[in-house]
Amino acid sequence: MNEPNDLTHFSAEGRARMVDVSEKADTRRVAIASGTIRMNPATLERIHAGTIAKGNVLAVADVAAVMAAKRTSETIPMCHSLPLSGVEVSFAEITEPDREGCVGIKATVTASCVGPTGVEMEALCAVSAALLTIYDMCKAIDRGMRIENVQLEEKRGGKRGVWVRGERE
């Protein structure tokens, strides 16, 4: 784990900066992020039935995730723009109700590229955009939806190699 003075996005004077990665080697980079949106069971049923007025919710959320991954550097100030080679989006139902009776959808995004810096932010932005899109498309019938647990699951590539959530954190 980095010590506070090892934060690379701050200059010696404490000012924010974009890190110079020009000396870093290009390697294959992969990041996987996930997140969940909890909703009323009736909302999930309508998503699957295709009766949400704004259209096919998961198809639109899929496109939103890809678009967000491609434009991450426009949203996150110190993030480098990367030529992504792939963005994969998947959705899984969570049908076991939580204590409030809500069910949900888990979104998972894998982003990849060959470059001098990782794609963690692209994967995280993509998951966030997918979940926010689901919220936007369903909010007319379920304003109580909750977006939860947006997190990095795995990253591969670069000097530090592989990191997987839950393994020797």
| CATH code: domain of residue 108 | 3.30.70.640
**Predicted pLDDT at 13:** 73
Residue 165's pLDDT band, with cuts at 50, 70 and 90, is: very high
Is 112 part of any domain?
Answer: yes
**Predicted pLDDT at 8:** 66
Is 13 part of any domain?
Answer: no
**Predicted pLDDT at 53:** 94
% residues pLDDT > 90 (the chain) = 74
Query: How many other C-beta atoms are found inside a 10 Å radius of the C-beta of residue 51?
Result: 9
Contact present, 111 and 126 (Cβ < 8 Å): yes
**Chain CA centroid to CA 166, Å:** 18
* Domain count within the chain: 1
**Predicted pLDDT at 66:** 97
> Can you read off the two tokens belonging to residue 36?
């969940």
| Helices 57-70 & 120-138 angle (0-180, nearest 10) | 150
User: Considering Cα of 82, then 88, then 94, then 95, what sign does the dihedral take?
Assistant: positive
Is 59 part of any domain?
Answer: yes
Is 135 part of any domain?
Answer: yes
* CA–CA dist 41, 39 (Å, integer): 6
Is 3 part of any domain?
Answer: no
Residues with catalytic function: 136
**Predicted pLDDT at 6:** 64
Residue span of the structural domain in which 35 resides: 23-158
Is 168 part of any domain?
Answer: no
Contact present, 114 and 86 (Cβ < 8 Å): no
Is 94 part of any domain?
Answer: yes
Residue 7's pLDDT band, with cuts at 50, 70 and 90, is: low
Structural element, H or E, at residue 109: strand 103-115
Q: 103-115 and 27-39: which strand pairing?
A: antiparallel
Is 56 part of any domain?
Answer: yes
- The pLDDT tens digits of the residues spanning 14-68 come to 777 777 777 787 889 999 999 999 999 999 999 999 999 999 999 999 999 999 9
